[in-house]
Structure formats: structure tokens, C-alpha cells
Structure 1
Amino acid sequence: NVQGECSNKHCDLPHIENGRIAQYYYNFKSYYFPMRKEKKLSYSCMVGYTTETGTQDGRITCTANGWSPVPRCYRKCNKPLLENGIFYGTEMYFKIHEKLQYKCNPGYHTPSGGTEDTVQCQPEGWSSQPSCTKKFVPNLHHGNYFTAQQVLRLNETLLYKCDEGYRTAGGNTTEEAVCLTRGWSLTPNCSSM
């Protein structure tokens, strides 16, 4: 019967990129493989790589559908570059799921507008690129902002209005300034007509 054939399915020698199993399994491959269901096998990742759970070694079980979990080794995350800020801790490599916290220098802010942020090492790399940038709302003489925010995120728009008798940087009574990577699209300013 077909069901009997399925239950006799065995697991072959697993191919693990950037990882390996004990040498004797390779030397006596025909003796150990195919392995029976429920049999367990340990594997280890090469230096600079880690299992999805962040360990150097993993354990897999032979099931009717093959090895479970699928044995994989992921590259560890290297400490990213950061200007105008510092990282907490001195580690250079991070395992999958490990977190890295950083703090921006005074006057600089994280992408979310705070002074500190945390990024996480994921199988495909860091969850986001740590960065510290100056994005302060400039002081505005002879005018008012339509927002109380002191720090703007990238691509956010700031709307301001100049007092009676004053004009914006673009020559209007109200003006929009967009926060770009290089600074403001047009620095908010109110000057007399």
C-alpha cells in the first residue's frame, strides 16, 4: 500500500551551506544514510555563521517530510558604521536575533527622532541601518510653525507662516520646508519685505 511506502521514507545526508555534520557521517555515508524517521543529527555552522536561533550548533530530526527544522547557517551581522553616535558594547559580530543599541551625539537624532535606538541582527542583515543626523527645526524669527515638533524625520514637511510685513524664503506668507538627507529643501526664514 502507498501509505506503507510513505512511512518508510528516509533522510539523506543533508547539504548544509556554511555548515557541516561530524566527519564520520561523510566517511561512512552508505552505513548511516538514508536515516530512519525519528533519528536525530547534530550539525555545526562554520566560524562567522550561526543557526537561526543564534547558536553555533543545531539539531535536526528525520521526519516523513525530510529533515526538520531544515538545517541552515546564516552569516553573522558585522557591527555597522555609525557617524555622530556611539554603540553600547564592543562586540564586532552579532548572532541572529541579537540586538545592538546605539546613542547619538548631542544635537543628533535617530531616524525615529529619538536620541537612542536599537537594531536587530536578522537572517538577511540588520533590521535597519543605524544613523544619527541633525534634523532640528530652526528658530524662526517673525513667524510661526504650524507644528510643535522640535525634530523632524526624513521627508517630513514643516509648514510655517510669517508675521505681517514679512515674507518666507520663497517670497510667500506661508511656506513648506521638507526635511531631506542633506538638510532642508528651503530653510525656514522670515525676512522683511
Structure 2
Amino acid sequence: MRVTYLGFFLLLWFPGVLHAQSAARHCDAPRLPHGYIVSEQNEYDHGRTLTYACEKGHKPAVEGWWATSTCQSGTWSPKPQCIVEEGCIPPTIPNAKYTESLTGWYEEGDKIRITCDEAYELKNNDATAVCTNGSWSSVPVCERSDDACDAPPKVPHAVIVDHGYQELFAADTHLQYECEDGYTAEGAGNDKTIVCIAGTWTEGPTCSSAATPGAGHGGSTEGATGGSGTQPAGRGTTPSTGHGGGSSDSSLQPAGGGSSTTSDSNGSDSRPSFLPINNCGRYPFVPYAAVEAGRMNLRYRCDEYHTLVGLDTVVCHSDRSWSKLPDCKEKSCVLNPARYPLLQLSGFQHLTGAWKHFHCIWPGYYTFVMCDNGEITTGQCCNYYGHCL
């Protein structure tokens, strides 16, 4: 009996609390300028969905000419909104991010700039989109980077630590394995870390039972000492001076495919395939390219007038030589000042299919140049009186 009275007493004392909890799950009817709502009422229960459309000259701030919104604990989601027909709703661009509008939509002429997520890069270097007459012009695309890596290889009796699972990893990503209790990391110089280089993971460890004697603890052979900069057995590649060249692409070993290392008396690896780039000295020079340095690799990017040929990522081998360098090949329809010394050119220039006027090196003389099907055609240098050289 006392319990019943106590419950009745609480209801009398806390009616405001109970009403607030109940009201929090309802939504007031939304205000919708330039639009109208089907089955309009003053209040909507939690979970209730309404349908709305917009007046002529306006459209919903979502795809389609009509839209829905759902009451979620006192808030409408998505917010019912009618915008002008020339406006744009936020574009959906996979694997990318951009600054979103505070109003939830964009006006005619608004421009957004895209930044791709790690392991992705812009297609055709197109990073912007413009709202034009209610739609986006040339929406950028973020595609997988050529030097990105898939999920790392599975190592029995080991897990990846300090990193959640994902399907794609950016170049120069470092992941660390940790062996389960009772197992010890062996191989790859006992290094538990793997690195994403040029689309491939470096070789990882093997987790062996602690009861099994580990390899790699014997003395070194005469042919491969452990000294700094010593030539590894069987490679036959001299250390690079940092001016280019380097060894072939085949030395970029995939995970599990072996590594270029020295060997001890038991035939086990004693040095990893790759070293941090500061072990290889001065960075190699690639004409018409800029270089970005990471901890384990260099990445080269050609300028807008040249196309990269070969791998854009260069690594430092265990013998302190650079891997093979890429080249920057001149694109078609590009005027190179060195090839056209009679033209006044301040630098490389792109050409289109139309004839373009250029001044010659002689004052008062000019010519016309055109590129058709990748071939550049030049005329004679003539002055305005018709005299040609």
C-alpha cells in the first residue's frame, strides 16, 4: 500500500518532468517557405515521416521534385527546405571531402574544391566543381592512387597494432605487427614493421614459437660482412652517388617475395630490403620533376608539360643505392623553347587545335603555330609588309 501511495505522490510532484520527456519525442510542424506539406498538422510523433513539395521556381534541398523528412526526437531529418531551382544540393563524391555550405545548399556560381582521402588521387587533376543552373559542372573524381596498397598480408599468430582495419592504404604507410604470446618475430631483420612502397608492402615478419630456436643469430660469412655500406652478397650493384640511375625495378620486392639482404652462416636474413632514404645520400635529380620526401621513399611528380614514365616512387636499397628513377616525357602539343629557338617563348606552352600567333626573335616578325593530332606545325617568320625570313 505504501508503494502505491509513493508512486501517486511522485506523479503529483513531477508532472513537468514527465511532460518534458514526452514532448521531447515530438516534432512541431516545420516552417516551409515556398513549399507545402501533405497531411499538415501541428505536431508529429517521433518516427513520423511527412512528404513535401515546393512551389514553382523552387525545389527540395534533396534529390527529386518531392521529398520526405522524419521526426527524430524533436528534430526533422533531413530538414525540410525549398531552394531556388538554380541552386545546387551538396554533391556526393566518394572518397573525398570538401567544405559544406552552412545553409545546406549552394547558390548559382558557387564553387567547391575537393580534397581526396588518403590512398586516392584526383582524376585528371580536376579539383573543382561549379554550381551552374541547378547542377554541378564536371564533378571531380577521386580514384585509387597507383602507389596505394591493399590490406596488409596476414601473418599467422600476429595482429596489426595501433591501426584499425581498412581496405586501402596510402603510400609510405607504416604498420606494425605484434606476435601473440609464446611467439617471436623472425625474418626481415626481426623488423615487425611493414611499409607501403609503390603499391606493395615490404616483407613482414614470421611469428615463430618461442620454443623453436630462432634463425639469424650465427656469425657472418666472409662474403657478406655487417659493415655500413657493404655490398650484399650476390647483388653486384654499386652504391649510387645520388645523381640518378640506380638499380632496376625488380628490386622492389613484394611482401613474401624475398628481400635483398646479407646472409649469416645459417643463411638467414640479417638486414632489411629497404633503408630510410637518408641512408642513400643526396636525392637523385629528375629533369622537369618535383620531389617529395617521406621517411622510406621519394616521390616524383612531373610538371604540367610532361608525363611521368616509370614508377613515381624511389626507394633506398639495403646496399645504399637508389631504385630506378622515372622519366618526365614531354607531352604532345607542347612548345619547348629549346626546340623552337626562333620563337619568343618565356617557357613551355600548351597548344590547341587552332592557329596561334607568336612573335619571332627578330623585331617586327611573327608566325603562326598549330598542333593537329599531336603534331606541331609552324609557319615562316614574316613581318607586316609580307617579307618572310
Q: TM-score range by the shorter chain?
A: 0.3 to 0.5
Which structure has the greater CA radius of gyration?
Answer: 2
TM-score (norm 2): 0.23
TM-score (norm 1): 0.42
